[in-house]
Chain A
Amino acid sequence: AQSVSQHNHHVILSEAASLELGCNYSYGGTVNLFWYVQYPGQHLQLLLKYFSGDPLVKGIKGFEAEFIKSKFSFNLRKPSVQWSDTAEYFCAVNENNAGNMLTFGGGTRLMVKP
């Protein structure tokens, strides 16, 4: 079965610091990859997604992620975080032969200090 690991459970940064959140998955075949963000008290919103093509994908609010197939990774990055980026971030993976099923990582809580 697919598993998704987010190794950083809690991250605290100061504004303007750079961010990188790790995401690793276990399935070795073709995958579709997502990062979702959950602001306090709100539902999950899509930050970015990767299906094919350029492994460096850009999302909303200045976020980007890089798919490295050899490392089974899809790390999320932002060069300079803002206080408003305080949220929980979830990586999710869909195996190409598993229909619509999404497997989520455990989430990373990011706190950005003003």
Chain B
Amino acid sequence: EAQVTQNPRYLITVTGKKLTVTCSQNMNHEYMSWYRQDPGLGLRQIYYSMNVEVTDKGDVPEGYKVSRKEKRNFPLILESPSPNQTSLYFCASSLLGGGRNTEAFFGQGTRLTVV
């Protein structure tokens, strides 16, 4: 089954404690991205990657890091989480190239709470 898998689904952590949210897709998609979802703001892109070792900032990259060492995996790293990073996070993947390829497939989401 084609899917994007995120882990964990729920996470409560304390300020400053490094964490990683994993994302894996099995569709051989080149393009992967991370979004955060906040009430009334929709989804805002944090980082994206167009292929292995190619990553770039989205609209709200501050406080986040990513890596793309393998095509299927795109982890999101919070080196020193703060309460304003409490949010619902989604990983997505799609084929590269725009147009019809921009249809994105989303993971189940990770609800992060930073206290």
Contact = CB atoms under 8 A, between A and B. Distances in A.
Same complex: yes
Contact of B90 (A43, A51, A107): A43
Interface residue range, chain A: 20 to 34
A51 B102 CA distance: 10
Contacts, number: 70
Contacts of B41: 106
Contact of B100 (A51, A97, A107): A51
Contacts of B42: 4, 6, 90, 104-107
A101 interface: yes
Which of the listed residues A34, A43, A45, A94 has the most CB atoms from chain B within 10 Å of its own CB? A43
Nearest to A41: B109
Nearest to B107: A43
Interface majority SS on A: helix, strand, loop or mixed?
loop
Nearest to A34: B103
Interface residues of B, number: 28
A80 to B, nearest CB: 27
A42 B108 contact: yes
A107 B40 contact: yes
A104 B44 contact: yes
A9 B42 CA distance: 10
Interface of B: 31, 33, 35, 40-45, 48, 50, 58, 90, 92, 94, 96-104, 106-109
